[in-house]
Structure 1
Amino acid sequence: MRRMAFRRPVFHPGLNFTVRLGEEWADLKVGEIIELDGPCWCLGMVTQVLKCRLMDIPNFVLEREHDPDGRTYSGLLNVLKETYPELQEKEAGEIDYEIVTCVGFWVAVALGHEDLVLEKEKGQ
C-alpha cells in the first residue's frame, strides 16, 4: 500500500482532492487504497486520477481540495510553491504549464479520531 504525505493533513468528510506536481501519482488506479499520512490512522480510496496542466485543473477539483488554502487557483499556486521549492524559481506563466496529477479520494478515519483530521462542515 502506498503512503501519501500531506503538508497539511486536513480533509473534508468524504471526497477530497490533492494536487501533486508531476506524474508520480498518475499510476494510481480507481479503487486503490492508499495510506494518508496524518496525525492519526487514515486511509483513502482513490476515486479519480486526472493528469493535466496546472492551468487546466477543473473547478470541481479546487472545490474539494483537501487544504482550505488551495481551494482557489491563486491559493493552490501558493500552496504548491510552498510544497515544491523548485516552483519558486519559475515565472508565473511557466508554472501554469506544469504537469500535475489530481488525485480524488474518499477518506476513512480511525474511529474516535475524526476531529483530528476532518474539517467541520458549515453549520456544525
Structure 2
Amino acid sequence: MAVGSVCLQSDDEAEVVTNSDVFSSGTEKPQQAEYSQGSNIYYYDGYDCCGYDQNGYDCDGYDMNGFNKRGFDRDGFYIDGCCFDGEGYDKNGFNEDGFNREGESLSDILLKFFDLNVVD
C-alpha cells in the first residue's frame, strides 16, 4: 500500500516518487517518498510527514528540534523556552513585567483566587 501523504504549505505542485520494499517477514517497509517543492527536495520516511530539506527544515519550516529559522518553537516560543513569544509573553502567559494579557500579575491572580475560596 503506497503512502501518498505529502504536506505542502502552498498550492505548489509536488512531484512524488515512492519506492517500497518488503521485509523478509513479508510485512511492508515504511514507504519512502522524495518530492520537490521549488528548489527544495523533501523526504517522507513513513513516519515523519515530510522530512527535512537541505537546510534542515521540514515543510512547515521547523528543524529536527522543532524550531523555525527565527528561533521559535511550534508554540511560538524561543529556543531556550524561558523567553517570550512574538507578543512578549512567556509560556505561562506573563510578560517581562510579570503581567498577563489582562494586565493582572501573578499575585493579583492568587489574591483573587484565595478571596474567592476563603471560608468564614
TM-score, scaled relative to structure 1: 0.23
Structure with larger Rg? 2
Q: Which has the higher contact order (CA 8 A, sep 6+)?
A: 1
Q: When you count strand as a share of all residues, which structure comes out higher?
A: 1
